[in-house]
Amino acid sequence: MSLAMSRSRRTLYSALGLVAFVLLWELALRSGLLPGSLVPLPSSIPLVFWYELADGIWLDVVRSSLGHYSVGLLIGSSLGIAVGVAAALLPRFDALHAWLARLLRPIPPLAWIPFAIIWFGINPTAAAFIISIGVFWINYFASYSSVRSIDPDYDEVALAFGQRSFVSRLTKVNLPAAAPGILGGLRAGLGQGWMTVVAAELFGIPGIGQRMMEASSLLATDIVVVYMLTIAGLYALFDFLFMLIQRRLLRWQP
């Protein structure tokens, strides 16, 4: 028997697993094995989703979450890549900030919430700030290590063909050679960003997290689940779109 499975069979099994899970969940509730106050009926979710959508709440909260998400992602990613690449290429800068990075790195993004509130107040800027921190570190380390591991032979080629300036070596060797690692970091940041979005909103910044807190205080677990699925769906969408871009940019790879 072969260990490999055909692709279609694999898809079938995956779908089966998901359906079985939802069915068991539904049955456990209907048979009274699980109390309905703890989890909602799966079959009730589509209708609740429709209500959220029809009220315009869904679009509102998703839009504001996406707002801080994209701002935080943009700032965190670009700063992370810039600082990471600079640290990998400039030994003096690397040494200068090495201990500072080691000190700040272990601090989780959510530990910055007190400062975020003091500096920016309870508003979207604070959320974007918190999101950018986690994203920054992921991109920083991915860029740093991928630039560091570039084959020095490429640098010699650039020098032998007259590309001597820092800028031309950066654009002609370092960035393209490190692109696979840098893009990998960006993609990981995409996921990390979502995790902090919700957490950052739990203390009152409008968005998906805040709506979930509201719902849970009313024990509306069905609404909570709607937004959990929303987060999963949006993440899958972004990851898929990013993967398309990544594949296009790295089409030179074997």
Partner 1 sequence: MMTSSTSSGVTQAHASTSPAVLSARSVSLGFGGTPVLAGVDMALHPREFVAVVGASGVGKSTLLRALTGLLAPQSGEVEIPAGNDPGTRAWSMVFQAPRLFPWRRVRANVELGLEGLGLSRAERRERAIEPLTLVGLDEYANRWPHTLSGGQQQRVGIARALAVRPRVLFMDEPFSALDAITRRRLQHELIALRRRTDAAIVFVTHDIEEAVLLADRVMVLGGHGPDQPARVVETLAVDLPLDERRDHPDFAPLVQHVEARIGEH
**Contacts with partner 1, residue ranges (CB under 8 A):** 153-154, 156-163, 168, 172-173, 176-177, 179, 251-254
The least CB distance from residue 184 to partner 1, in Å, is 15
Q: Rounded CA gap, 44 and 51, in Å?
A: 11
103-125 burial, b if ≥16 CB within 10 A, otherwise e?
eeeeeebbebbeebbeebeeebb
Q: Which is nearer to partner 1, 11 or 168 (CB)?
A: 168
Question: To the nearest whole angstrom, how small is the minimum distance from the Cβ of residue 146 to partner 1?
Answer: 13
What does each C-alpha distance from 65 to 4, 123, 205, 243 come to in angstroms? 41, 12, 9, 22
Nearest-approach distance from CB 89 to partner 1, in angstroms: 18
Find how far residue 62's CA is from the centre of its chain.
Answer: 15
Other CB atoms within a 10 A radius of the CB of residue 1 amount to: 3
Whole-angstrom Cα distance, residue 203 to residue 155? 49
Instruction: Name the residue among 162, 163, 132, 169 with its Cα closest to residue 147.
Output: 169
Which tokens in the block code for residue 22? 């939802």
Nearest distance from C-beta of residue 152 to partner 1, angstroms? 11
Instruction: Find the shortest distance in angstroms from Cβ 150 to partner 1.
Output: 11
Considering the complex, state which of residue 92 and residue 251 has its C-beta at the smaller distance from partner 1. Answer: 251
- Report the sign of the C-alpha dihedral through residues 241, 65, 133, 191, in that order: negative
Residue closer to partner 1 (CB basis): 42 or 176: 176
At its nearest, how many Å lie between partner 1 and the CB of residue 160?
A: 4
CA trace torsion 112, 118, 120, 125 (10° rounding) = 30
**Which of 102, 164 has the CB closer to partner 1?**
164
| Of 99 and 161, CB closest to partner 1 | 161
Between 55 and 156, name the residue whose CB sits nearer to partner 1: 156
Do 212 and 203 form a contact (C-beta atoms < 8 A)? no
Judged by beta carbon, residue 14 or residue 168, the one nearer partner 1 is 168
Please answer whether residues 87 and 78 qualify as being in contact, where contact means their C-beta atoms are separated by less than 8 angstroms: no
Give me the least distance between CB of 12 and partner 1, in Å please: 35
